[in-house]
């Protein structure tokens, strides 16, 4: 069950980076909400603004060069951007935790994983050494590390990539946060291990009724775990939808391109369709629809007018559905794309 009040609301967020080439508009008016018990996937290529959005929520952006030019990030109704550093630090880890892509560099190589997990309880919960070690083993069990008790004194390099990512999940779960942000949590893993780690995350999210934001460039990994998806391109949301609606009837040509580039077992031997071209330089975002230089359905209006993210209506109506394409109706009725 989802409560009505969102856990997190990102409202008209603008983040810029001041570079030698000019101002890079990394996040350009992004708004979304996440409720307790909901998994939201934030999808996009590198440079789409998805990770910068996550870092802004966590308060870990390097400022400068980054600058939050506008917007609000409300967590349980309170604007994180208005809080002092100490108050934000308390929320980070205890109420909002993050899982990074690269577990090996996120873990300290010279400390045992048990020590690093136990430290969370010693520092934040003031537990004794014995109590905190027992909690570390409990967490390792929770994330299904075999023989947790025997391995608690092992170092990060003694675990496989998948097991290390489970340890990162354990660290994020340690203080039972309300919201976890996982930034490409399975990118470094092979496909089978990816699926196991995703299943574990989804299972814990359901069991603890947390909000989960899953940042990814890979539409294939979120199909079974996300409730809703926002698709980002050049710092903006170009489509948002419940996951099944997005797979069935995408309402934006960029989403169509991403779906066509997912490998499929039933099309063995066929070349994968790739979206032509590259994402734009964020200091020189194309006028009109930023996707127009790569879009197979581009028209004159696309070069001149920026399509707003508008609600998708008609048969596909849903409070979650929106598309920033002048031709979303044609996308939905199949006159472009399919």
- Cα 135 from Cα 200, distance rounded (Å): 19
Q: Is the dihedral of CA 147, 152, 154, 156 positive or negative?
A: positive
Q: Which residues pair with 212 in a beta bridge?
A: 39, 180
- Cα 259 from Cα 73, distance rounded (Å): 30
The answer to whether residue 312 forms part of the interface with ligand SF4 (CB under 6 A) is no
Which range, of 120-128, 139-147, 221-229, 285-293, touches ligand SF4 by CB under 6 A? Answer: 285-293
The answer to whether residue 280 forms part of the interface with ligand SF4 (CB under 6 A) is no
- Which residues have CB under 8 Å from 36's CB, separation 6+? 2, 3, 7, 178, 209, 210, 211
The answer to whether residue 327 forms part of the interface with ligand SF4 (CB under 6 A) is yes
The answer to whether residue 326 forms part of the interface with ligand SF4 (CB under 6 A) is yes
CA distances from 121 to 93, 118, 134, 178, 286 (A): 11, 5, 10, 17, 49
Closer to ligand SF4 by CB, 77 or 334: give it. 334
The answer to whether residue 259 forms part of the interface with ligand SF4 (CB under 6 A) is no
Residue closest to 119 by CA, chosen among 106, 100, 132: 132
What is the total count of residues that contact ligand SF4 (CB under 6 A)?
Answer: 14
Burial of 24 (0-12, 13-18, 19+ CB in 10 A): buried
Closer to ligand SF4 by CB, 151 or 236: give it. 236
The answer to whether residue 135 forms part of the interface with ligand SF4 (CB under 6 A) is no
According to CB under 6 A, which one of 291, 320, 321, 337 is a site residue for ligand SF4?
291
Residue closest to 39 by CA, chosen among 311, 230, 237, 174: 230
The answer to whether residue 75 forms part of the interface with ligand SF4 (CB under 6 A) is no
Closer to ligand SF4 by CB, 253 or 279: give it. 253
The answer to whether residue 25 forms part of the interface with ligand SF4 (CB under 6 A) is no
Which range, of 86-94, 160-168, 179-187, 286-294, touches ligand SF4 by CB under 6 A? Answer: 286-294
| Footprint on this chain of ligand SF4 (rule: CB under 6 A) | 252-253, 289, 291-292, 295, 297-299, 302, 307, 325-327
């Amino acid at each position: 069950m989802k409560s009505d009040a969102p856990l997190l609301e990102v409202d008209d967020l603008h983040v810029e980076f001041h570079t030698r080439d000019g101002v890079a508009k990394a996040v350009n008016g992004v708004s979304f909400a996440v409720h307790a018990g909901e998994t939201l996937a934030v999808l996009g290529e590198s440079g789409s603004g998805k990770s910068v959005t996550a870092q802004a929520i966590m308060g870990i952006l390097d400022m400068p060069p980054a600058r939050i030019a506008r917007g609000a990030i409300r967590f349980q109704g309170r604007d994180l951007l208005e809080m002092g550093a100490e108050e934000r630090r308390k929320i980070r880890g205890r109420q909002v935790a993050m899982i990074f892509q690269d577990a090996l560099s996120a873990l300290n190589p010279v400390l045992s994983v048990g020590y690093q997990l136990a430290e969370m309880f010693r520092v934040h919960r003031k537990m004794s050494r014995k109590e905190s070690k027992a909690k570390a083993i409990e967490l390792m069990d929770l994330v299904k590390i075999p023989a947790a008790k025997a391995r608690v004194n092992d170092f990060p390099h003694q675990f496989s990539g998948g097991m290390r990512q489970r340890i990162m999940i354990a660290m994020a779960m340690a203080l039972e946060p309300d919201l976890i942000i996982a930034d490409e949590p399975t990118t470094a893993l092979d496909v089978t291990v990816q699926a196991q780690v995703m299943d574990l995350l989804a299972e814990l999210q359901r069991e603890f009724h947390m909000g989960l934001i899953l940042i990814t460039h890979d539409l294939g990994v979120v199909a079974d775990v996300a409730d809703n998806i926002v698709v980002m391109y050049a710092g903006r949301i170009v489509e948002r939808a419940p996951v099944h609606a997005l797979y069935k009837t995408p309402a934006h040509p960029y989403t169509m391109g991403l779906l066509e580039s997912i490998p499929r077992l039933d099309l063995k031997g066929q070349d994968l369709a790739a979206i032509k071209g590259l994402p734009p330089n964020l200091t020189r975002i194309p006028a009109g629809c930023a996707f127009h230089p790569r879009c197979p359905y581009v028209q004159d209006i696309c070069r001149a007018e920026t399509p707003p993210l508008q609600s998708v209506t008609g048969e596909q109506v849903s409070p979650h559905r929106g598309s920033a394409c002048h031709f979303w109706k044609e996308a939905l009725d199949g006159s472009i794309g399919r």
